[in-house]
Chain A
């Protein structure tokens, strides 16, 4: 801003008026943002929020640490005979549980977002319809990766040594995050259907909690009553836990991986369009 050295007040005022006039003069409308860049812009928004309020990462860092320590040292001896033996069994399972629990927060965050005026602006923009949602989940996927990394690193510190090395651990983490992306669409749908962030939190955990515990994450299903065992064996979370154990050990079953990817795709195919429709019509 060039201010001529005359009476300061006047100069500032006219400079402001000039800046306003310049800013208002037509900015030609560029071609529409394509789907990918719109979704990435929303992903960037998610990252900025983490940057401004880093405390919100506590739930994806502290909680997994708590789970690992608690299950390993509290239940390890009773369930597997020694904490070391149990750590090998449970670490891939805790990875699954922690990341899946984090997906509930995607629904909570969306519900919170809806109470704010900015959603009206997003909805009135000419962009690819699912972009705000896909972008937010891309941002959340970064949180899932972070939660998973915390678990694996802590496991290694405690003596967990994946048979397939770093590559196996990364592959297991990637599979879990892909499944979490699919599952989080269920919670974003809940986030749009329920009235308050608390309601989403309650409904979310009331569904993910039993599903996780009624899987092979914590115990070998052979020890269970027959009916329960049958359920646990078909629970997709069991299959995901098996697949991630397999990937870490280098003995993954291709069918397990395919089933996990299939379920993730199916959840996305059903709940992503549903979420998008609800987001638009609310």
Chain B
């Protein structure tokens, strides 16, 4: 995708390719990320997300294609790019053998702060991320959520203009996940552009202004969350019955009212494609008249899970190439 007006773009990539041995991890990725936005790169394990981010963060040299971060070429101006970006990697990018405070002071020093300033900044960040109490403990003894928060704190010791977040909530409990989401929202409030890799569809939906769906190294769809959902087609009516025994009966009633009826894995649940809310209301009314008790129902756009299935023909959970294998191959290379 060749964009003529690149002035408003924080990240622009065209035709990025990266091979590890015989495996093509990234196969011609194009991206255009507006300044100040959160851009989600969504895909299953092994889709090429991490490799793409590592190229953009100047850690890997692309085999073909080119990319610019705030106008700077990631290969020929790599050092300038490093002054603009920060990376929160998939493996926690903090030193496990140091304490939280020492990690932040170390980064402050490396970014050019004087010792006193680095200490002050570390204390400020620990406070902000709720880590003051754990500041003197070794990071290897931190919980997953604390480690992630420290990781993000480490990325903003000096405010970056572009931030790469690689699966920031993988493996976190819901409460820690919400904390990370709050931090990401607060960051965008300060004008930082964020490229967010995730395999959680609701995470991209919650945070991102734009999404690229990536599968087997290629961008297979792009747009706002709403556009992506719309591209898959109409919305859906989801129904849960009080009594699972009544499901066959409910299926017959719904089939008479709406187009397609699916039985969900939950033995009391059904879903059905439906174009409008009115028709959904009528269908629920018909169930009611037939004496079928409905526990709850909802009408909504298809989930991003359904989007993924529709776009790729396989569910998002399915692994194609293991990302771990790609990383190992890369280290061997």
Contacts and interface: CB of A to CB of B under 8 A. Distances in A.
Q: Do A and B come from one complex?
A: yes
A1 B132 CA distance: 12
Interface stretch (B5-13, B78-86, B201-209, B261-269): B78-86
B59 to A, nearest CB: 6
Contacts of B138: 52
- A-side binding surface: helix, strand, loop or mixed? helix
A105 B28 CA distance: 41
Interface residues of A, number: 43
Given A29-B159, A282-B331, 19 more contacts: A16-B128, A16-B130, A19-B128, A23-B124, A23-B153, A26-B159, A28-B158, A29-B112, A41-B106, A45-B102, A49-B97, A49-B98, A117-B90, A121-B93, A124-B57, A124-B82, A125-B111, A127-B110, A281-B61
Given A26-B159, A124-B57, A20 B85 contact: no
B93 A20 contact: no
B1 interface: no
Interface of A: 1, 16, 19-33, 37-38, 41-42, 44-45, 48-49, 52-53, 114, 116-118, 120-127, 131, 195, 281-282
B156 A126 contact: no
A116 B158 contact: no
B112 A45 contact: no
Contacts of B189: 24
Interface of B: 54, 57-59, 61, 79, 82-83, 85-87, 89-99, 102, 106-107, 109-114, 117, 121, 124-125, 127-130, 138, 153-154, 156-159, 182-183, 186-187, 189-190, 331-332
A41 B109 CA distance: 6
Contacts of B92: 117-118
A118 B158 contact: no
Contacts of B94: 117-118, 121
B97 A120 contact: no
A30 B54 contact: no
A47 to B, nearest CB: 11
B112 A31 contact: yes
Nearest to A31: B112
Contact of B159 (A24, A37, A44, A120): A24
A123 B59 CA distance: 7
Contact of B156 (A23, A45, A131): A23
Nearest to A26: B159
A23 B110 contact: no
A30 B110 CA distance: 10
B127 A126 contact: no
18 contacts: A19-B128, A22-B128, A23-B124, A23-B127, A24-B187, A27-B157, A29-B111, A30-B111, A31-B112, A38-B109, A38-B110, A52-B99, A116-B95, A123-B59, A126-B82, A126-B111, A195-B331, A195-B332
Contact of B95 (A1, A19, A45, A131): A45
Instruction: Kindly list the 3 A-B residue pairs having the minimum CB-CB distance in the complex, ordered from nearest.
Output: A117-B91, A23-B128, A121-B93
B299 to A, nearest CB: 34
Contacts of B91: 116-117, 120
A32 B84 CA distance: 12
